[in-house]
């Protein structure tokens, strides 16, 4: 089944404790992306990747890191989480880049709470 998977789905952690949220897709998509969703603000893009080893900042990259060592995986790293990073996070992927006619497929989301 074609899908985007994220792990963990729920995470409660404490300020400053490094964490990684994994994202994997099985559709051989070139483009992958991370978003955060906060009430009243919709989705905001954190980072995106056009291909292996090619990443770029979205609108809210501060406090996050990403890597794309393999085509299928795009982990999101919070080196020193803070309470303002408490949010619902989504990974997404698509064949083409933003602006192409390809649509994004979204993962189920990771609800992160930073105490």
Out of 15, 26, 82, 103, the residue judged to bind other proteins by CB under 8 A: 103
x/- map, 20-59, other proteins, by CB under 8 A: -----------x-x-x----xxxxxx--x-x-----x-xx
Q: What are phi and psi of 106, to 5 degrees?
A: -105, 145
Q: Give me the least distance between CB of 22 and other proteins, in Å please.
A: 15
**Is the Cβ of residue 19 or residue 30 nearer to other proteins in the bound state?**
30
**Is the Cβ of residue 63 or residue 96 nearer to other proteins in the bound state?**
96
CA angle at 95 for the pair 90 and 99, rounded to the nearest 5°: 85
Q: Give me the least distance between CB of 101 and other proteins, in Å please.
A: 6
Q: Which residues bind other proteins (CB under 8 A)?
A: 4, 31, 33, 35, 40-45, 48, 50, 56, 58-59, 88, 90, 92, 97-101, 103-109, 111
């Amino acid at each position: 089944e074609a899908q985007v998977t994220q792990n963990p789905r729920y995470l409660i952690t404490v300020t400053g404790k490094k964490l990684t949220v994994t994202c994997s897709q099985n559709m051989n998509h070139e483009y992958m992306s991370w978003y955060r969703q906060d009430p009243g603000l919709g989705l905001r893009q954190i980072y995106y990747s056009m291909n292996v080893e090619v990443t770029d900042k979205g609108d809210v990259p501060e406090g996050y890191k990403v890597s794309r060592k393999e085509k299928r995986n795009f982990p999101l790293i919070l080196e020193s989480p803070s309470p303002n990073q408490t949010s619902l996070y989504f990974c997404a992927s698509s064949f083409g880049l933003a602006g192409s006619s390809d649509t994004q497929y979204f993962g189920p989301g990771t609800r992160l709470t930073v105490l």
